[in-house]
Chain A
Amino acid sequence: ETGVTQTPRHLVMGMTNKKSLKCEQHLGHNAMYWYKQSAKKPLELMFVYSLEERVENNSVPSRFSPECPNSSHLFLHLHTLQPEDSALYLCASSQERGGADTQYFGPGTRLTVL
């Protein structure tokens, strides 16, 4: 596998379920990101990890819980979500956080909350 991979690609869950999204980067990068992409809206940055340390948390509800066990893996744990949380969740990585580094994206997980 090359680049940034995400699983699952599609997820349907009820409001009382608990699920996790997984992201893996094969680029040797040190920074990883979770974004939310809703239709016709700008990408919303949710969390940033740099060298496995969370460095940004943009006022995301506690029903979203990130985990970064090492610099190659990033998880987003979901529980008691709301229908308005339905969106495309994108993972990205970059060499370092900030600077002129380009972010490389995974294909996303299309989440539907019923």
Chain B
Amino acid sequence: GQNIDQPTEMTATEGAIVQINCTYQTSGFNGLFWYQQHAGEAPTFLSYNVLDGLEEKGRFSSFLSRSKGYSYLLLKELQMKDSASYLCAVRDSNYQLIWGAGTKLIIKP
């Protein structure tokens, strides 16, 4: 079966750096997405990786290793507003998105 694994919950300190990991086993691979979802709000697109390597976007970076079935989202200079759930999703060979259950990130002062 198809599976996306990510930690359920993580805690970090304001101003610090946190890395949220995502491992996947899917039928084919056509890209990996990271979304941010604040409580009670819509998931919003953060990043897209289809080739191996690091994509940087301001304080957020996303890394992909297709051979390892692994990605991470790196958040730097954490702010209280970064408290949210972070969803990892992989597009499989049928171009269907397979979603992880999300990682709830708690930022403490």
Report A's interface with B, CB cutoff 8 A: 4, 40-43, 45, 56, 90, 97-100, 102-108, 110
Point out which of B4, B35, B42 has the most chain A C-beta atoms below 10 A from its C-beta. B42
Which residues on the B side are within 8 Å of A42 (C-beta)?
4, 98-102
Number of CB contacts from chain A to chain B under 8 A: 46
* Listed A/B pairs (19) with beta-carbon separation below 8 Å: A40-B8, A40-B101, A40-B102, A42-B101, A42-B102, A43-B89, A43-B99, A90-B42, A98-B91, A98-B95, A100-B31, A100-B48, A102-B33, A104-B45, A105-B42, A105-B44, A107-B41, A108-B41, A110-B40
- Min CB distance B60 to A, Å, is 15
Known contacts A43-B87, A107-B41, A107-B42; decide if A102 and B101 are in contact (CB<8 Å).
no
Q: Are B96 and A45 in contact (CB under 8 A)?
A: yes
- Min CB distance B9 to A, Å, is 10
Closest partner residue, chain B, to A56 (CB atom)? B96
Q: Are B97 and A45 in contact (CB under 8 A)?
A: yes
Closest partner residue, chain A, to B47 (CB atom)? A102
Give complex CA distance A114, B4 in Å.
32
> Which positions 67-109 of chain B face chain A at CB distance < 8 Å?
87, 89, 91, 95-102
- Min CB distance A38 to B, Å, is 10
Q: Place the interface of chain B in its size category.
A: 20 to 34
Chain A interface secondary structure, helix, strand, loop or mixed? loop
- Min CB distance A9 to B, Å, is 9
In the complex, whether B18 has a CB less than 8 A from a CB of chain A is no
Which are the 6 A-B pairs with shortest beta-carbon distances?
A98-B95, A105-B42, A42-B99, A43-B99, A107-B42, A105-B43
Closest partner residue, chain A, to B41 (CB atom)? A107
